[in-house]
Amino acid sequence: MFRFRSQLVVLALVMASADHIAANSRATSREHALIKPLVQTGIDVYESMNSEPFAGKRIGIITNQTGVDSDGRRTIDVLAGRKDLKLVALFSPEHGIGGDRDADVPNSSDEKTRVPIYSLYGAMRHPTDEMLKGIDVLVFDIQDAGVRFYTYVTTMAYCMEAAAKHHIKFVVLDRPDPLGGEVIEGPMLDSDRKAFTGYFPMPVRYAMTIGEVGNMFNAENHIGADLEVIPLKNWSRSDSYDETGLRWIPPSPNLRTVNAAFLYPGLEILQAGGVSVGRGTDTPFEVLGAPWIHGGEFAAELSKHKMLGVTFEAVQFTPNAEPYKQELCNGMKIHITDRHSFRAMRMGLEIAAALHLMYPEQFQLEKIISLLGSQSTIDRLKRGDAPEEVISSWKAELDKFRQVRGKYLLYR
């Protein structure tokens, strides 16, 4: 009888253990199903190719500090190390090849490879005939910010135009839109306001990778470049940058965090109106202020508007960069509480409207058009129209943009 009971106990333990193992196995399977593979950027995909698309070619690279593979190797060094091609020129965008300058960038040479670096943010914004002499392929590898007035997309477009003129192949090593590839925000750029900060009529936040933008510019602007995009692997349109598994490298000196990148579209438009957006502080694009703002009152006013996914906290700060260098600024710190519901352009318009209402003598609303790019939006805010109504007025043009954009999407 005792032996029989022992056998039952053993059998029960075995069955319980089997159930536990099966349950763990199912849980592990679910976890594996939920864990996404690390996103591979265009340079990673290039390195994994069985063939060498640039064999026997003389290469120029438009790049900066963000142009690295998943092991941290510079795209410059990856291509310079190939025996079957020749790296002959480098081109640097705004902020320079190291991404650490907030002024014009001079020509120089790369310390490691000794390859000449031609600045595209100084006396020249377009590659000259002399710069392109002897180049067979131009390669573009820069992390964009996903914002219309961030100048890297314009630099790419200018280089594509030059490549088309000289019959040089143009290759984009694609990288993610750091804000994700789904949410479109902001007014369309007015057709008469095209500039270095607005190359093409599109909204402030366009939800496209740099490769998708390149395809759109090439076709819609009739550039005619011999363009190839080496695509990302494992990226979904719902992925923001910190969901990719990739290390965040600030694409410019003040865009230091992914959080700041989400706030950037709505805050950067405001500086031209006469406020500090945190340049020269430890938290650029996460604070806003001026000596003439009453921080508590202003934060309280904005909190009344019940914007989704964001809160405002009164703060003081003293920037060590213009505007208001070494002056005490009163204002607010901005906290994103839910990225999915947060809309940077709604926040930007609410702040602009509140500044115009509360400080009409100090805040110059009309000047924010330099980056906002929409005169009708400025006019409506000056009339006192509610920001929600202004945003609704963008719908027809944004719907048209979505139709154009849809032709060039590479990812789901």
Do both 201 and 225 map to the same domain?
yes
Closest by CA to 156, choosing from 231, 109, 211, 106, is: 211
In which band, very low, low, confident or very high, does the pLDDT at 306 lie, cut at 50, 70 and 90?
confident
Note down the domain range covering 208: 42-250
The residue-averaged pLDDT of 139-155 equals 98
Q: Assess whether 279 and 223 both reside in one domain.
A: no
Give the Cα separation of 123 and 186 in Å (integer): 31
For residue 57, report the phi and psi dihedrals to the nearest 5 degrees: -100, 155
What CATH number does the domain containing 358 carry? 3.90.1150.140
Based on the fold, state whether residues 297 and 164 are members of the same structural domain: no
- pLDDT over 70 at 25, yes or no: no
Tokens 């011999």, residue?
Answer: 226
Residue 134 maps to a domain: yes
CA separation (Å) from 308 to 6, 134, 347?
62, 53, 9
Residues 343 and 309 in one domain: yes
Residue listed under structure tokens 């405002």:
312
Question: In this structure, is residue 347 part of a structural domain?
Answer: yes
Residue 223: the pLDDT is: 98
229 and 268 inside one domain:
no
Residues 156 and 233 in one domain: yes
Q: Do 218 and 236 have their domain in common?
A: yes
3-state class (DSSP) for residue 98: coil
Question: Does the pLDDT value for residue 395 go beyond 50?
Answer: yes
Contact between 155 and 170 under an 8 Å Cβ cutoff? The reply is no
Stronger pLDDT, 306 or 391, i.e. the higher one? 391
At which of 250, 271, 289 does a domain end? Answer: 250
- Reference 348, options 195, 152, 147, 95; nearest CA is 147
Query: How would residue 57 be classed by pLDDT, with cut points 50, 70 and 90?
Result: very high
> Above 60 in pLDDT, residue 309?
yes
How far lies 112's CA from each of 21, 77, 166, 324, in Å?
A: 54, 8, 29, 39
The Cα–Cα gap between 22 and 267 comes to 52
* pLDDT of 29: 37
With cut-offs at 50, 70 and 90, classify the pLDDT of residue 3.
very low
The count of structural domains within the chain is 2
pLDDT (mean) for 171-180: 98
Q: How far is CA 111 from CA 76, 85, 116, in A?
A: 11, 20, 9
Which tens digit of pLDDT belongs to each residue from 258-270? 999 999 999 999 9
Q: How many CA atoms lie within 13 A of 212 on its CB side?
A: 22
Express each pLDDT in 251-302 by its tens digit: 999 999 999 999 999 999 999 999 999 999 999 999 999 999 999 999 999 9
Q: Chain-wide mean pLDDT for the chain?
A: 92
% of residues, the chain, pLDDT over 70: 91
In a domain, 2, yes or no: no
pLDDT tens digits, residue range 355-369?
999 999 999 999 999
| Same domain? 174 vs 194 | yes
Q: Could you give the CA distance from residue 223 to residue 340 in angstroms, rounded to a whole number? A: 35
76 and 144 fall within a common domain: yes
Residue 36: predicted pLDDT: 61
2-16, 75-89, 236-250, 290-304: the lowest-pLDDT one: 2-16
For 60-104, write each residue's pLDDT tens digit.
999 999 999 999 999 999 999 999 999 999 999 999 999 999 999
Tell me which of 250, 273, 289 is where a domain ends: 250
Whether residue 163 contacts residue 169, with contact meaning beta carbons closer than 8 Å, is answered with yes
Give tens-digit pLDDT for 181-228: 999 999 999 999 999 999 999 999 999 999 999 999 999 999 999 999
In a domain, residue 4? The reply is no
pLDDT at 16: 42
Res 23 pLDDT > 60: no
| Cα–Cα dist 303/290, whole Å | 19
pTM of structure: 0.90
Domain identity same for 165 and 205:
yes
Q: Are residues 224 and 306 in the same domain?
A: no
Candidates 281, 308, 275, 267; CA nearest to 293 is 275
Between 29 and 310, name the one with better pLDDT.
Answer: 310
Strand, helix or coil for residue 291:
coil
Q: In the listed set 201, 230, 250, which residue is the last one of a domain according to the structure? A: 250
Task: Round to whole Å and give the CA distance between 261 and 117.
Answer: 28
CATH number, domain of 191, equals 3.40.50.12170
In this predicted structure, the answer to whether residue 37 has a pLDDT above a threshold of 80 is no
In a domain, 382, yes or no: no
78 closest CA partner among 95, 97, 63, 92? 63
Residues 217 and 95 in one domain: yes
The 10s digit of each residue's pLDDT in 312-342 is 999 999 999 999 999 999 999 999 999 999 9
Tokens 């959080």 correspond to what residue? Answer: 259
Residue 361 lies in a domain: yes
Looking at the domain assignment, is residue 399 inside a domain?
A: no
The answer to whether residue 108 is domain-embedded is yes
